[in-house]
Structure 1
Amino acid sequence: MSSALDYWPSPPPWGWTADDLDRLPTEGPNGEPDFFKHVELIDGALVFMSPQKRFHQRMIRRLSETLDAQSPEHLSAVDQMDVKLGHRMRPCPDVVVIDTVAADDDERTFYTPAEVHLVVEVVSPESEDRDRKTKSFRYAEAGIVHFWRVENNDGSPVVYVYELDPATGAYGLTGIHHGRLTVPVPFPIDVDLDRLPR
């Protein structure tokens, strides 16, 4: 009698790499459709993302729409697309603002740090450590200048805005935003945060 583990994709002898994500099967070990659709590679380990709560899904959709509407013509906001940070690091941020030329390529499965102008992570209870520490550190290490972390404060979003310090190569907190977020970089952005969860 076979078990689900018999069908589980085994890592290559050298471990998982960023390019392996494009070669994962479409179905899970028991034929589950889209089983590997929401998986990230964090420091060489496959990380399966939990089902989204409504707050998380709503923030992703509305922030993506708002940022895309306010972006200059050469930039576009997209959601839930991978960013290949290195050989063993390919996270899937909730929202990224990227070069429009890259966004227009429908064959892409990931973007590179050079194409990314802003990364937004909406924190879930299961992803707190990854979003607050591991992923933000890796985004900074890759040279992505702007990073936002969105947290749920009793149903209202709080946005922590970070900018890369070129002297240290680490993110510095430039503001904590409740109610309204207004920033001049990476382009002028004005978001009524109180309206996003509705």
Structure 2
Amino acid sequence: MSTPRDGDDVTVTDVSSALEYWPAPPPWGWTADDLDRLPSEGPNGEPDFFRHVELIDGALVFMSPRKRFHQRVIRGLTAVLGDLAPERLAVVDQMDVKLGLRTRPCPDVLVVDAEAADDDERTFYTPDEVHLVVEVVSPESEERDRKTKPARYAEAGIPHLWRVENRDGKPVVYVYELDPATGAYGLTGIHHGRLTVPVPFPVDIDLDELPR
């Protein structure tokens, strides 16, 4: 297989040549489609090495083990939003969104078109299929969840973003909506205890009593 050059249209069909450069990225860079081709083991035979990995601006980002707060908020929001969502929408957790050639994050919770969610072979969704992204912040992901990812989601045109922070063991939800005039997110509310919003569909959630 020839090595892609800068500016080439990346059409690599496997990642074996890319892993020869590990831990440095290959000269042609990682792409979003590479995540579907990563082996189950790491370059030195480490089991499940690539199990929890995102691609942010061409860099592979390995996610640390989640704390119980992170996990229970994901489960609770997924369950409650799933009950509230209209039939045309579906709520999924920990599925990738392909934002571009070199960016493919894995949000904690997503609201997507029901038709897209019905396809069990999917490994990612596209921005036009996504209505809401929810990121639950952990200490190691603060910079990505507060700055990098919101900018990328906004650039991709995803209309709604929620960022969930841990305040003394309780979730606080920062709600953002895309401003079509600027292409950036605007903060529409900070919700303690109860989250009530009309979009992307009517939501009224007791944050302190999420299903555990």
- TM norm structure 2: 0.87
Q: Which residue of 1 aligns with 2:155?
A: 141
Q: SS of 1:90's equivalent?
A: coil
1:180 maps onto 2:180 in alignment:
no
State the Cα distance separating 1:37 from its structure 2 match.
Answer: 1.4
Q: Give the one of 85, 107, 118 matched to 2:132.
A: 118
Q: 2:154 is matched by which residue type in structure 1?
A: A
Cα deviation digits, residues 76-104 of structure 1 (max 9, x gap): 01000000000000000000000011111
Unpaired runs of at least 5, structure 1: none
| CA distance in 2 between partners of 1:197 and 1:33 (Å) | 32
2:34 pairs, out of 17, 20, 32, with: 20
Q: Which runs of 5+ in 2 are unaligned?
A: 1-18
> Which of structure 1's runs of 4+ aligned residues deviate more than 4 A?
5-10
Q: Distance in 2 between matches of 1:29 and 1:164?
A: 40
TM-aligned CA deviation for residue 13 of structure 1: 2.9
CA positional deviation for 1:35: 1.8
1 CA distance for matches of 2:158 and 2:21? 37
Which residue is 1:79 aligned to?
A: 93
Matching residue of 1:169: 183
What is the rounded CA distance, in whole Å, between the counterparts of 1:174 and 1:73 in structure 2?
26
RMSD across aligned C-alpha pairs, in angstroms? 1.7
- For 1:166 and 1:142, locate their aligned partners in 2 and report how far apart those are by CA, in whole Å: 12
Candidates 122, 128, 146, aligned match of 1:108: 122
Calculate percent identity across the aligned residue pairs.
82
Give the direction of change, closer, same or farther, for the CA distance of 1:64–1:197 in structure 2 (3 Å limit): closer
Count of aligned pairs = 194
